[in-house]
Amino acid sequence: MTWNEGYVLEVNYTYGFYGELSPLKLALAATLKSLKSPNLEKNFNYCELACGRGYSTNLLASCYPQAQFYANDFNPSHIVEARTLAETAGTKNVHFFDDSFEEFINQDLPQFDFIVLHGIYSWITPRNRLAIVNFIRQKIKVGGMVYISYNTLPGWAAARPMQALMLRYGRNSSEPILTRIEKALSFTEQMLESKATYFTQNPILKPRLEKLKEQNRYYLAHEYFNEEWNAFYFDEVAKELEEAKLNFMGSAHLIDYVDAVNLSAAAQTQLSQVTDPIFQQVVRDFFLNTQFRRDIFTRGQLSLLSQEHLQVLRSLRFALVTSIKSMKFKHQFPLGEVELQEKVYRPICEALENGSLTLGELQKDSRTKDIALNSLYQALIIMTGIGYTHPAVSETVRKQRQKSTDAFNSAVKAKAIYSDEMNFLASPLVGTGIVVNRLEQLLLLAKERKQDGPQFIWQVLSGQGKKIIKEGKTLETESENLAHLATVAENFNGDRLPLLTKLGIS
Ligand SMILES: C[S@@+](CC[C@H](N)C(=O)[O-])C[C@H]1O[C@@H](n2cnc3c(N)ncnc32)[C@H](O)[C@@H]1O
C-alpha cells in the first residue's frame, strides 16, 4: 500500500463533529473582527478537506440546503460511509470524493467561500501540506474564509517525545493497531512508574497519560500513531499559508477573543507592546502554553465601517443551546475560575428562553434593556464560547431548513438502534450540530414512531442481548432496566426535549 503515505488505515476515524466548522460561527468570528463575512442566507460553496467519515459535512449540508458542500478524504472506507449517510438522508447538496489532496484539485470544483480542515495539518507530510496550500490558492474565493486547526508549540513541547516514544514502541510490531496502542500505553506507564528522568522532569506528563488512557482508541490511533506528526509555532503556519495569499483573521475559538479570561493584566500589557501581529500571536501562545490552535485565515479582508458594524451587531441573532437549569455561572477559563455576573447573564438567558432574539431585540426586551449593547455582546460571545448560546437564523429561514435537517436527523436516529457512534443531530435554527446521545436519540425515535420510549429502548437493547450499565453495575432484570429507562425518559421530557424542540430537533 503506498497511497496512504504512512497515514493510519487500519481503523476508521471517529464520528466527530466540531462546532468551529459551523458557517454561522465562522461568520460571527468575522463580525468580532469588524469584517464582512459571506452571506449565509444565499447560495455559498463550502469545502471540507480530509473530512474523515463525513459526519460534519453531511450535518452542515443539511443545515444549509441552499448551499453546496464538497469534501475529500483519501480513505475510501471513510467516503463510502459519508456517501451512504448522504444517500440515506437524501441530502442532495453534498459531494464526497475519495481523493488525496493532490488529486482533489483536478475535480470539477467551484470556487469556495469556505475551506475548512480540522485535525489534518499536523499529521501529514510537507508535500501534502504544500498540496493543501496549492488547493487553497486555486480554490478559495477572494474574501473567502479558511479554518485550519493544528498542534501548536510551545504547548506540545513537553509531551511530544511521549508521542514519539509510543509510535516507536509499536513501529516494528505486526500486531493489530488496537493491541499496539494498549501495549504502548502500558509500556509508557511502566516507564513513568520506573521514574524515567524524562517523566520526573516533566510532571505534566502523568495526568496527560492518565487522560490518554481514557480516550477513544480510534482517536488515539489517528492522533498518536501516525508516522507524520508535527507541532508548529503559529508563524510557521502563517508563512506556509501566505503562499495561498491568506492573512490571519482571528481565532475560531471564541473564548480567545476575551482577554480578561485568558491573560493577566501584566500579560495583556506586555502583549500589547508587541507590534508585529504575527509575533504577537506567538507570544500569546507562550503566555497560554497553547497546544492546539483553531485559526481563521482569509483571502483579502473587507472591514465594516463603524455604523455598518453596529448595524450587523444589532442584527446578530442568538439562541440558547443549553437549558438554563443545566448552566453554571462559574466557569473554568485559562486564567482560572471566573464567576459570570448573574445579573447580566441570567436575564439574557431568560429572554432567550422563549425563542431566539437579535441583539437589537434584546436591547428592547424588558429584561435586558438596561444592559449596555457592549455588555450584551460580550456576554453572548462568552456564552457562545462556553456552549450555552449559538448564533441563529430567523424563524422563516429555520422553516426553510427544517425538511433537510429532519431527514438527516432521521438517518442518524435510525443508526442509533445499532450503534452509539453518532452523537450529534442537526439544528436548523442554529445551523450546527447539537450533542444528543444514543438514549436521547432512541427516545426521539420512539416518539416519532408513536411508541413508549422506555419500552422501545428496552426492545432494542434486549434484542441485541444488552443491558443498561448504571454506575459500573449491570442492571440484570427487565424491571430494573425499565425502571431506569423510565427515569431517563422523565428527565429527558422535563428538560432536554423542550430545548431540542425549540432548536428544531425532534
Ligand atoms: C484525524 S482525521 C480528521 C478527520 C476529520 N477532519 C475530523 O476532524 O473528524 C484525518 C483524516 O485525514 C485523511 N487524510 C490523511 N492524509 C490524507 C491525504 N493525503 N489526502 C486526503 N486525506 C487524507 C485521513 O484519512 C483521515 O480521515
**Residue 255 and residue 138 share a domain:** yes
Residue 377 within a domain: no
Residues 150-188 have pLDDT tens digits of 999 999 999 999 988 988 887 777 888 888 889 999 999
Residue 246: what are its φ and ψ, rounded to 5°?
Answer: -100, 145
Task: Report the DSSP beta bridge partners of residue 433.
Answer: 426
Q: What pLDDT was estimated at residue 15?
A: 83
**Residue 123 and residue 259 share a domain:** yes
Residue 124 Cα: closest atom of ligand 1: 16
Alpha-carbon gap, residue 8 to 12, rounded angstroms: 8
Best residue among 2, 10, 13 to mutate for probing ligand 1, ranked by most atoms within 8 Å of CB: 13
- Residue 157 CA to ligand 1 center (angstroms) comes to 24
Cis preceding-peptide flag for 428 (omega within 30 of 0): no
7 lines ligand 1 (CB under 6 A): yes
Residue 216 within a domain: yes
Domain boundary among the residues 273, 298, 323 is at 298
- Residue 410 CA to ligand 1 center (angstroms) comes to 26
Residues 133-152 have pLDDT tens digits of 999 999 999 999 999 999 99
- Residue 436 CA to ligand 1 center (angstroms) comes to 25
Residue 458 within a domain: yes
Residues 357-367 have pLDDT tens digits of 999 999 999 99
**Residue 238 and residue 196 share a domain:** no
- Beta strands per DSSP E along 261-321: 292-298, 317-320
- Residue 488 CA to ligand 1 center (angstroms) comes to 36
442 lines ligand 1 (CB under 6 A): no
- Residue 16 CA to ligand 1 center (angstroms) comes to 12
- Residue 51 CA to ligand 1 center (angstroms) comes to 6
Distant-in-sequence contacts of 25-28, Cβ < 8 A, 24+ apart = 25/252, 25/254, 25/384, 25/390, 25/391, 25/432, 26/114, 26/145, 26/147, 26/252, 26/296, 27/391, 28/254, 28/316, 28/384, 28/391
**Residue 284 and residue 256 share a domain:** yes
The domain in which residue 245 lies consists of 19-153+230-298
Residues 411-435 have pLDDT tens digits of 999 999 998 899 999 999 999 999 9
- Residue 102 CA to ligand 1 center (angstroms) comes to 13
119 lines ligand 1 (CB under 6 A): yes
Residue 118: what are its φ and ψ, rounded to 5°?
Answer: -115, 130
Domain boundary among the residues 298, 325, 342 is at 298
Query: Which residue lies with its CA nearest to atom 1 of ligand 1?
Result: 119
Residue 131 Cα: closest atom of ligand 1: 19
Domain boundary among the residues 277, 298, 319 is at 298
Model pTM score: 0.93
Best residue among 75, 80, 225 to mutate for probing ligand 1, ranked by most atoms within 8 Å of CB: 75
Q: What pLDDT was estimated at residue 149?
A: 97
Written as nine digits, the cell of 444 is 426521539
Residue 78 within a domain: yes
Best residue among 11, 15, 72, 74 to mutate for probing ligand 1, ranked by most atoms within 8 Å of CB: 74
Residues 87-122 have pLDDT tens digits of 999 999 999 999 999 999 999 999 999 999 999 999
- Residue 120 CA to ligand 1 center (angstroms) comes to 6
- Residue 282 CA to ligand 1 center (angstroms) comes to 26
Q: Which of 18-22, 179-183, 469-473 has the highest mean pLDDT?
A: 18-22
Which CATH number fits the domain that encloses residue 140?
3.40.50.150
**Residue 140 and residue 191 share a domain:** no
CB under 8 Å to 426, separation ≥6 — which residues?
A: 59, 60, 62, 63, 405, 408, 409, 432, 433, 434, 505
Residue 141 within a domain: yes
226 lines ligand 1 (CB under 6 A): no
Contact of 446 with 456, CB cutoff 8 Å? yes
pLDDT at 260 over 60: yes
How many domains are contained in the chain?
3
50 lines ligand 1 (CB under 6 A): yes
Name the band, by pLDDT with cuts 50, 70 and 90, for residue 489.
Answer: very high
Residue 95 within a domain: yes
The amino acid sitting at 12 is N
- Residue 243 CA to ligand 1 center (angstroms) comes to 22
